[in-house]
Amino acid sequence: MNASPQIEERARGGWGWLWRRLGGRSEAALAGPVERCVATAELLLAESSDGQAVHIATALSDMLAALSADEMALFLQRLASAFGPDHARLQAAVNDYLNQPDGASAAWIGAAAQMRAVELLRRLNMTPGATALIVALRAEMLRLGRSEAAVALLAEETRQLLSSWFNRGFLRAEKLDWQSPAAVLESIIRFESVHAIDDWDSLRRRLDGNRRCFAFFHPAMPGVPLIFIEVALTDGMSDRVGPILDGDDRNVPLDAPTHAMFYSINNCHRGLAGISLGDLLIKQVVLDLRTEFPSLKSFATLSPIPGFRTWLTEECRIGRVSDLPEALLDAPDLLHDGGAAGPLRDPLTLLCARYLSGRTANGGSATVSDPVGRFHLSNGARLERINWCADPSPKGVRESFGLMVNYRYVLDTIDANHRAFVGDGRVAISSGVAALLDPPSVSRRIARTSAWIKTAPRPTSRTTTPPASSRHCP
Amino acid sequence: MNASPQIEERARGGWGWLWRRLGGRSEAALAGPVERCVATAELLLAESSDGQAVHIATALSDMLAALSADEMALFLQRLASAFGPDHARLQAAVNDYLNQPDGASAAWIGAAAQMRAVELLRRLNMTPGATALIVALRAEMLRLGRSEAAVALLAEETRQLLSSWFNRGFLRAEKLDWQSPAAVLESIIRFESVHAIDDWDSLRRRLDGNRRCFAFFHPAMPGVPLIFIEVALTDGMSDRVGPILDGDDRNVPLDAPTHAMFYSINNCHRGLAGISLGDLLIKQVVLDLRTEFPSLKSFATLSPIPGFRTWLTEECRIGRVSDLPEALLDAPDLLHDGGAAGPLRDPLTLLCARYLSGRTANGGSATVSDPVGRFHLSNGARLERINWCADPSPKGVRESFGLMVNYRYVLDTIDANHRAFVGDGRVAISSGVAALLDPPSVSRRIARTSAWIKTAPRPTSRTTTPPASSRHCP
Amino acid sequence: MNASPQIEERARGGWGWLWRRLGGRSEAALAGPVERCVATAELLLAESSDGQAVHIATALSDMLAALSADEMALFLQRLASAFGPDHARLQAAVNDYLNQPDGASAAWIGAAAQMRAVELLRRLNMTPGATALIVALRAEMLRLGRSEAAVALLAEETRQLLSSWFNRGFLRAEKLDWQSPAAVLESIIRFESVHAIDDWDSLRRRLDGNRRCFAFFHPAMPGVPLIFIEVALTDGMSDRVGPILDGDDRNVPLDAPTHAMFYSINNCHRGLAGISLGDLLIKQVVLDLRTEFPSLKSFATLSPIPGFRTWLTEECRIGRVSDLPEALLDAPDLLHDGGAAGPLRDPLTLLCARYLSGRTANGGSATVSDPVGRFHLSNGARLERINWCADPSPKGVRESFGLMVNYRYVLDTIDANHRAFVGDGRVAISSGVAALLDPPSVSRRIARTSAWIKTAPRPTSRTTTPPASSRHCP
Amino acid sequence: MNASPQIEERARGGWGWLWRRLGGRSEAALAGPVERCVATAELLLAESSDGQAVHIATALSDMLAALSADEMALFLQRLASAFGPDHARLQAAVNDYLNQPDGASAAWIGAAAQMRAVELLRRLNMTPGATALIVALRAEMLRLGRSEAAVALLAEETRQLLSSWFNRGFLRAEKLDWQSPAAVLESIIRFESVHAIDDWDSLRRRLDGNRRCFAFFHPAMPGVPLIFIEVALTDGMSDRVGPILDGDDRNVPLDAPTHAMFYSINNCHRGLAGISLGDLLIKQVVLDLRTEFPSLKSFATLSPIPGFRTWLTEECRIGRVSDLPEALLDAPDLLHDGGAAGPLRDPLTLLCARYLSGRTANGGSATVSDPVGRFHLSNGARLERINWCADPSPKGVRESFGLMVNYRYVLDTIDANHRAFVGDGRVAISSGVAALLDPPSVSRRIARTSAWIKTAPRPTSRTTTPPASSRHCP
């Protein structure tokens, strides 16, 4: 039904009408594509007819889509600098407010303080397909915003606009499976960054049998997942990712799974950073799965620990973990070295528990810095269990010595956990993790291992190292 | 997929969790339903977890839906008075801005100036189905706002929120026909107010053959039309509504219609008043019909003139139309009186042309006050033709002596017409209408008719009056 | 996707190609529309290219749809007489078979024995939409077949063809509700003949709340229900139809209904008579409802008894029910006459039990003749309960003195009941019905009533009779 | 809606009910899976209740799906031998017919002559999903039928049943693209046998840009294509398959393609062999494409010539092509050898024209034996052009020395071409092909080449041979 107005325009002879509106100048007379976009943006803001605004928005949308990366950066800088609030108007509104500080004058201030760029984006969205473009523009704003404060401000204001548009009430949760359109599944392959999907066969293993995949969609971006989560239905809390990815247990009958393991969650659009999606998707999926499988008793993640090695390296450097020789940090291959690495298990697990629970060596408390950890803890999950040799892939070893962690979502405690974490920084932990945090025990075991490390024969050759792509521990 | 969180909550034992959150008080301890809604609204605004916010929004949504009309009014008053901006925060932001008036401080002001009620509505929308509720709340705000300024301000701020959500890019135009769900068609029957639909058979006559009906839908309100427009495909510009409604020509083959007549356009939600939908729908439908029927040459309305009699009565009263005896205005039945009413045709048509084109008796210009006229003229349509005896229904006679008007949408002039009207108040008129506005001619004809009126025998009995429900002129 | 080949043909200049194929004759040269159809039918049978056959089938389909009722009858007579089997070929095949009676010669006979008309209908079905046409043709065959044996034979052969096409595996059961297309719901209104639906409001009352409606559809007749069944979810076995139709209990919460009452089942196409649909739909609906409402314990009908009065009249006439005065049969109004009719309750109920269970006055067995009864009993249902004053509508009184019956489907006994009834004519009855069949009791009660009847004062005036449309007993 | 009856059965405790029906024997008491299937088949044929029949059909369907290949063969043999017609009944019907050979007795013969196995399959189809099973059974029948006449007869009777079910009116043509379900697209990869699809990227190249893919589906086999055709939209008649498969021209704008090239057509189910699908799909696609692209002037194939080399080898062997040295047939590599192979072009093209047009060396006529050729010619296509070096893949060289052929579908001549070919074996040829068939010219050029062949230096090493996978000619 929604034939693009642009077809209409083109049918009437291209964009002549637009150049005429732009002061009678021909396309060529305008300085260049960025200049044309800026002029068209001004026109769009000034247009009083909604019907006409749709046409101009369509033209601007097409022009923006045709910009090169450099031109786009230039355009966004112009947007940030020249489409701020109207300061004269704002100043007047402020004076009004100071004279009579009531609701009406406050509302007037609010309107005057708004960036013109935000209104521009709202109007740009009048043309079908513009929502995806605006999300892409914000991704670029975020990139540029790292070095340019004005663009960072624009990115933040755009976040608020998108946050209103990507409100939970407008999102649709959908189950993805082998009956889903190939175009959607291709996005899953493309955006899976936690545990890469090699090909369509691997993808299929994550969609059927006792695997599930759910995504949020927005009606203005049909066929484009916003965020997706992958789940394995099992009969116990998974402690290693290999069997999940290989689908070893895929044919286990689905009569009565007891555990739903969330093993991967991925955002598909950098432009939606800072907009709450993951928390909401997890909770929707918990509801959906509970309805489909009443036998489910436990919802937990099997999560990576992306910041562990970096943190540990730094802890060693500044002397907080004095006993652990740096040798360890240089010798990840030990982890692959069968029995030889065994002695490392205890100290690394203990240190990891400290890292993830925000405890210091002397039992004090610190901020949890692991991004995945912060996400699940602020969602109200509990730090449940740390798993040795759970992800022996090169990435897993590089990031966290192959360790992974289970966060568990217990419905009755989600709310309290969330508030304890967000309010006081307190991390909910299981008794198992609590046992790892007993200070003497930690120090003792680390000391023991250090001694071993110093005397242990280093592997003389890397030929014993298993293939880097191995997903299984020796 | 989207199982309501509320099901979940209830499964866990009702809203005990909510009362606990509300300070440990039991439901009974709270003063009453309005008090409970206000307390829950505060809780929702304070909630830091999105997952929890969904639960609270669901609870609040259910509570609001259960309020009586009086309670709802009370709640909205509380919203308007107690959920305004945080003035202390705004004052601080204003001071910052005065010290350093830049983009960042302006943004800070903008955030501080926002009504808390608007953020509340945004969060309320996290639960499925809340969008329709918010639209309904705004309808109530508008009603209350007539007498209470604070609620009127809230209604306006809510309009801005809804305007962002009901952005063209999020709307879906759909053709409605006999294959549409009965629930949707029932809405059409219910909301048609221009030319009432008596029953399902009448409805069907407006959906098939050479009739069309199009509506806008919003994805968060599935199955609920926002606005709809009814079209007759004909081979000439219709000059009376009877044949259209009776479907006399419905079976005329649709090989090559030349005219698309828009004969009814209706908004379905008072809560969306002030949000641009009609202009956009008309233009979408023009595009869709042009694609389906390349033979179409002319797009025009057959519109009522709701304000004509009121205007004319006032003109007479203040002596601007001195020659026309008030007798006329009291004797609408003359219109039904066959040949007898003939002499009225000319003067009424001339006066109507003056009314709709915003001309004064001496050729000066006035503001067009007819609401339907303002709508189409500001959309860029042209005042094309005034039709005598086009709607002889009681409503038609009562409002406009049975006159109706064609507004015509000519693609190439829509933009210029719109700007002339919005900018300078100039009305685009056809040569036919222009001929009616020649002052001497107007005065002359009115004078002639006045003379006639004075001497004309009044109908002695009303038995000659045709049935009031007649859609056809004698 | 399936653009009609006919569009194509017409684009190429109408059916000139067809008349050329028909021996170079012009359309006018052919004797008339029936003659043209017969000639085209021969052409279709002779065509060796499937692609061409589609074109011819489309042309024939259009021609047939344009025939008048008389012409259609003529065409079907031609089909029955001139499109029988090829007897020469069949004779040869018979000789072959007699020489060598094996599988191959039997197959050859089978092919030769087939009516050419059946192959014609199969080929006619190559054009989209023809299936509905063929069903309509069979309805006409059945009508004509009452007086013409050859057409009756054709109707039977067509039944076998349709039976293969309307195989259970090709049918789709669907729930109908207020979200269904208006065109489908209109069919429900039109084809409901057990308890007529007055208007769309009445229809809606049969679709939502604790009412359900299910239908079978065939993929080649999209949007056209084949048969539908109406169900009320209740908490007891309904004994009168008024509350069901009026929806008195529609708002009873659906937490845990215990009974599903099938109160109406209707075929939509006479042309599908003799093809098993009802039995299959009932059993599908039982499965679907059990899944949706695990609380359901009992599936039963509330059925009319269309043949009771006719049977009883005949029984009286031939003296088998000697004691019951014919007065009764002439005085149905007694039933409406409050207490006055009370004494009739027992004898009519007893006689009805006899009628429905296939028992004679002396305890012998007879054939069950009631068509609704035969349907449910052969489906394996049990004769459960006879309900006095269950349908006091004029139709109910006229057919069965207002009595209705519950047939109950008990899953574990359906199979045995079915076989007992189909094999030996034995009717499964509840203990309640069994009690009614005790011969002495029956005779005694009838005798008592007869005495009463003879002396009872007849109503002197019909002014006491309640409105004929009443659905409720006094 | 269509919850499987089998769920129901299992809910009631497995198949105990079935074994009870099978004479009270336990599952174990039956001789084995084949015996159980045969007994259940008899039960299904004997069942008088449709509701029960659905249950039995479901059980039989599950049992058959669980048979091993050997067991299935055994079962089909039993079906062919023990489920033939009832000869006693047939004999009686034959006698009736001989006594009174009319329509009724013929119908009676027809019914009696039917194989019981066919009725069994019809009843088996009462369970959802059985249609696909029956198609699979027929594939197996065809395989076994090569050596067993009784099974071949069963396969033929089953073909007639399927032919009625897969009637054009029941098929749905659909366009496949990147929005189609992955499960459907996977079938395309799997069943493409003309030009194999390597992976999903290759697949995508055949679905978008100026490529199209269409398939037939049957409603009882949702998501399972029956046959599909691949089309390239071009601006000239393609003479080599490489650019089509590589998608070299995929980004050519689709403003106005002039040619639709059908470059691959594949059946997906051996069990549907002998049922007309390809002809009908081609003609549907022609209609659909003409609607979408009015600029299309020519519909043609780029087809393989699978039988050419085999035919030519045989022609040489029996001396009909005496002058062409067998050396050629042994030296396909010459074709890859750049200029060196040039002299072969003329004679091979000429001989191929003879092969495809059914002409003998002396201008007489022979039967066209190429299966692809027979398919398109009987569909009414014209032999348009023979293309040298059109498919230099190993398969292309092996089958037809790299030659491919264009068959062209000209709407106005399809009917006449079809009838000339099917009736008299006459092949419609273009003037270009006619020129190749002039006998003296053919002999002369072949002679010239033979001389060249005899003296030409043979390639000394295969190192000059391009990679076998090459799709492009040197």
Q: Which CATH number fits domain C308-470: 3.40.630.150, 1.10.10.10, 3.40.50.12170, 3.40.30.10?
A: 3.40.630.150
CB atoms < 10 A from the CB of C27, how many? 13
Whether residue C409 is predicted with pLDDT greater than 90 in this model: the reply is yes
CA of C181 vs chain B CAs: smallest distance (Å): 4
Structural contact between residues C433 and C353, judged by C-beta atoms closer than 8 angstroms: yes
Q: Which of D247, D238, D172 is nearest to D204 (CA)?
A: D247
Exposure string for A305-337, b = 16+ CB within 10 A, e = fewer:
bbbbbebbeebbeeeebeebeeebeebbbbbbb
CA distance A8 to A18: 13
Local confidence band at B252 (pLDDT 50, 70, 90 cut-offs): low
Local confidence band at A1 (pLDDT 50, 70, 90 cut-offs): very low
The structure tokens 């023809």 sit at C130
CA distance A212 to C376: 44
CA of D128 vs chain C CAs: smallest distance (Å): 5
Structural contact between residues D377 and D428, judged by C-beta atoms closer than 8 angstroms: yes
**pLDDT reported for residue D295:** 92
CA of C396 vs chain D CAs: smallest distance (Å): 30
Chain A within 8 Å of D187 (Cβ-Cβ)?
A: no
CA distance D372 to D407: 10
First and final C-alpha spacing in chain D: 59
**pLDDT reported for residue D94:** 95
Q: Which of B51, B54, B288 sits opposite A1 (nearest CB)?
A: B288
Evaluate whether chains A and D are touching (3 or more beta carbon pairs less than 8 Å apart): yes
Whether residue C114 is predicted with pLDDT greater than 60 in this model: the reply is yes
Local confidence band at D27 (pLDDT 50, 70, 90 cut-offs): low
DSSP element (H, E) containing A9: helix A5-11
Q: Which of C356, C350, C321 is nearest to C435 (CA)?
A: C350
Q: Which of B189, B191, B218 is nearest to B277 (CA)?
A: B218
Q: Which of D178, D183, D199 sits opposite A178 (nearest CB)?
A: D183
Helix axes C103-113, D149-165, angle to 10 degrees: 20
Per CATH, the homologous superfamily of domain C169-301 is Malonyl-CoA decarboxylase, catalytic domain (3.40.630.150)
**pLDDT reported for residue C1:** 40
Of all residues in chain C, the one with the smallest CA distance to D219 is C219
- Write out pLDDT tens, residues A305-359: 999 999 988 888 887 776 565 556 665 555 554 444 566 788 889 899 999 999 8
SS3 B385: strand
Q: Which two tokens stand for residue B53?
A: 């916010």
Mean pLDDT (whole number) for D441-455: 65
- B170-174, C69-73, C445-449: least confidently modelled range: C445-449
The reply to whether residue C172 touches residue D2, judged by beta carbons under 8 angstroms, is yes
Structural contact between residues A134 and A125, judged by C-beta atoms closer than 8 angstroms: yes
CA distance B51 to B41: 16
CB contacts under 8 A, D 64-103 vs C, are: 80, 84-85, 87, 90-91, 94, 97-98, 101, 103
Exposure string for D294-329, b = 16+ CB within 10 A, e = fewer:
eebebbbbbbbbbbbbebbeebbeeeebeebeeebe
Question: What's the whole-number average pLDDT of chain C?
Answer: 85
Sign, CA dihedral A23-A28-A34-A40, equals positive
Q: Which positions in chain B touch A276 (Cβ < 8 Å)?
A: 50
Q: Which of D178, D186, D223 sits opposite A183 (nearest CB)?
A: D178
**pLDDT reported for residue A187:** 94
The DSSP secondary-structure symbol of B424 reads I
The DSSP secondary-structure symbol of B341 reads G
Structural contact between residues A27 and A36, judged by C-beta atoms closer than 8 angstroms: yes
Mean pLDDT (whole number) for D302-326: 82
Q: Taking the domains of chain D in order of start, what are their residue ranges?
A: 4-165, 169-301, 308-470
Q: Which of A164, A297, A272, A134 is nearest to A216 (CA)?
A: A272
Evaluate whether chains B and C are touching (3 or more beta carbon pairs less than 8 Å apart): yes
Chain C within 8 Å of D210 (Cβ-Cβ)?
A: no
Contacts of A439 (CB under 8 A, 6+ apart): A361, A362, A363
Q: Which of C269, C240, C280 is nearest to C388 (CA)?
A: C240
CB contacts under 8 A, C 129-158 vs D, are: 129-131, 149-150, 153, 156-157
CB atoms < 10 A from the CB of A149, how many? 13
**pLDDT reported for residue A467:** 43
Report the Cα B422 to chain-centroid distance in Å: 19
SS3 D136: helix
Count CB pairs under 8 A between chains B and C.
34
Q: Which two tokens stand for residue B312?
A: 């004319």
Local confidence band at B467 (pLDDT 50, 70, 90 cut-offs): very low
CA distance A382 to D175: 49
CA distance C13 to D61: 50
Q: Which of C159, C176, C441 is nearest to C288 (CA)?
A: C176
Q: Which two tokens stand for residue C73?
A: 């009858």
- Write out pLDDT tens, residues C26-47: 666 677 899 999 999 999 999 9
- B313-317, B378-382, B427-431, D160-164: least confidently modelled range: B313-317
The reply to whether residue A419 touches residue B48, judged by beta carbons under 8 angstroms, is yes
**pLDDT reported for residue D1:** 39
CA distance B198 to B184: 16
CA distance C184 to C196: 16
Higher pLDDT, A13 or C128: C128
Architecture of domain B4-165: Up-down Bundle (1.20)
Structural contact between residues C344 and C309, judged by C-beta atoms closer than 8 angstroms: no
SS3 B156: helix
**pLDDT reported for residue A313:** 86
The reply to whether residue B182 touches residue C183, judged by beta carbons under 8 angstroms, is no
CB contacts under 8 A, D 390-409 vs C, are: none
Chain D within 8 Å of C170 (Cβ-Cβ)?
A: yes
- B373-377, C20-24, C159-163: least confidently modelled range: C20-24
Structural contact between residues A118 and A79, judged by C-beta atoms closer than 8 angstroms: no
**pLDDT reported for residue A12:** 46
The structure tokens 């009115």 sit at B446
- Write out pLDDT tens, residues D227-251: 999 999 998 999 999 888 887 765 6
Sign, CA dihedral B382-B385-B386-B390, equals negative
Higher pLDDT, D122 or B397: D122
CA distance D139 to D155: 8
Report the Cα B199 to chain-centroid distance in Å: 23
CA distance A160 to A148: 19
Q: Which two tokens stand for residue C147?
A: 């007086």
Chain B within 8 Å of C32 (Cβ-Cβ)?
A: no
Q: Which positions in chain D touch C21 (Cβ < 8 Å)?
A: 415
**pLDDT reported for residue A26:** 63
**pLDDT reported for residue C265:** 94
- Write out pLDDT tens, residues A161-180: 999 999 999 999 999 999 99
- Residues of chain C above pLDDT 90, percent: 61
Q: Which two tokens stand for residue B237?
A: 């510009």
- Residue D322: phi and psi, rounded to 5, are -65, -35
Mean pLDDT (whole number) for D114-133: 95
SS3 A249: coil
Instruction: Find the angle CA(D152)-CA(D158)-CA(D159) to the nearest 5 degrees.
Output: 90
Whether residue A251 is predicted with pLDDT greater than 80 in this model: the reply is no
Structural contact between residues D117 and D157, judged by C-beta atoms closer than 8 angstroms: yes
Chain D within 8 Å of C10 (Cβ-Cβ)?
A: no
Amino acid letter for position A424: D
Measure the CA dihedral B207/B212/B218/B221, to 10°: -10
Provide the H-helix boundaries in D86-177.
87-99, 103-113, 116-124, 130-145, 149-165
Whether residue D156 is predicted with pLDDT greater than 60 in this model: the reply is yes
Q: Which of A21, A4, A11, A61 is nearest to B418 (CA)?
A: A21
Whether residue B298 is predicted with pLDDT greater than 60 in this model: the reply is yes
Q: State the ipTM, two decimals.
A: 0.86
- C59-73, C168-182, C246-260, D414-428: least confidently modelled range: C246-260
CA distance D311 to D319: 12
Higher pLDDT, D412 or C90: C90
**pLDDT reported for residue C85:** 93
The structure tokens 């129901």 sit at D8
Of all residues in chain C, the one with the smallest CA distance to B179 is C181
- Write out pLDDT tens, residues D319-377: 777 656 555 666 555 555 444 456 678 888 989 999 999 988 777 888 899 999 999 99
